[in-house]
Amino acid sequence: MAEQNIKDMNFESALGELETLVQNLESGQTSLEDSINAYERGVSLKKHCEKKLKEAELKIEQIAQNEDGTVSTAPFSAEQ
């Protein structure tokens, strides 16, 4: 089975593959070469997931009503 291009993967697919890679590495049943390749792909998948999360975070905005009654948006903050 050919590996999917990471850039074309959605977050859920990338995370699922990353979890599978980790399980396979933890099992100790892969050769050294396969482990190295899996590790390298895992690093790329992790970076892709982080990028997708950052993109989602930037898209989430909080709608606020100003004191003068106008409405504006601001970046979402979990601390508020």
Does residue 80 belong to any structural domain of this protein? no
Does residue 23 belong to any structural domain of this protein? yes
> What is the pLDDT, as a whole number, of residue 61?
67
Does residue 21 belong to any structural domain of this protein? yes
CA distance 75 to 59: 8
pLDDT digits (tens, 9 = 90+) for 24-59: 999 999 999 999 999 999 999 999 999 999 888 777
CA distance 73 to 68: 14
Record the tokens describing residue 7, joined without a space: 């850039």
Structural domain including 28 reads: 6-75
Does residue 41 belong to any structural domain of this protein? yes
CA distance 19 to 77: 28
| Number of folded domains that form the chain | 1
Does residue 37 belong to any structural domain of this protein? yes
CA 2 to each of CA 5, 36, 73, 78: distance values in angstroms, whole numbers, following the listed order:
9, 18, 43, 40
CATH number assigned to the domain comprising residue 45: 1.10.287
CA distance 61 to 74: 6
